[in-house]
Amino acid sequence: MKLRISKTSTRLAISFLLATVAALPQTKSALETNPKGWRDIMPDASFKGWTRVPIPPDAPLKPEESLWKLDPVHHIVICEGDKLGHEWLRYDKQQYSDAIFHVEFRFVPVDTPNPKYNSGVFVRNSKDGKIWYQGQATMAGGYLFGDNPVNGEIKRFTLVKQQKGQKVNPAGEWNTYELEAIGNKISLWVNGAVNSEFTECGNPKGYVGLEAEGWRVEFRNVKVKDLK
């Protein structure tokens, strides 16, 4: 016996899904809610205080020239996407335990079929990046995943299937991510709502950073608020 699904049923299912996403409680970002106490950590043109770290940690940095540059007129950090290389840019001046990391970003559109735009934002990473927690940024949404220490071993986790529905905007449009780390909990706020939560963080303190993964992406308003 074949199960037949009518076009009407399909439309109703899609409408229900869209209504569910639209019903997510929308909130202001932490920066909008309370603009006091934030530290602007946007780099200058020299990127002093920031370090390129390869992914994985034992890989060579490639290309040898930096993927990163600053547009001082528009106060935007640009990650070139036309070169090979997978790495993260680590902010070195302070490690954070309980904190909120605020980042705004947009992908630069490319004229290729089905581009797999990809980048991310990090909190509580170890210095070498063996331990990391990323707010993943793709067209599939924003969610947390990473390599987390559990009973002396580093184990991968991903919350892609636990996303609450908040989506990343299309290439060319700005997005806002806020990663909040308090105790063992890390939450990811995406464009108006908390979209992902991880409650078993095994690293009490670490570095914040930005990811390069083959796509041209721009960052602005990079700020951090220490909650300790």
* Euclidean distance between the first and the last CA atom of the chain, given in angstroms as a whole number: 62
Which residue type does 131 have? I
How many C-beta atoms lie closer than 10 Å to residue 50's C-beta?
Answer: 20
pLDDT at 4: 53
67-77 pLDDT per residue, tens: 999 999 999 99
Q: What pLDDT was estimated at residue 103?
A: 98
Q: What are phi and psi of 203, to 5 degrees?
A: -115, 110
CA–CA dist 114, 140 (Å, integer): 12
Going by C-alpha positions, the residue among 68, 103, 114 that lies closest to residue 87 is 68
Helix, strand counts (H, E) of the chain: 2, 15
Q: Which domains can be identified in the chain, with CATH numbers?
A: 26-226 (2.60.120.560)
pTM of the predicted protein model = 0.88
pLDDT band at 23 (very low <50, low <70, confident <90, very high): low
* pLDDT tier for residue 85 given thresholds of 50, 70 and 90: confident
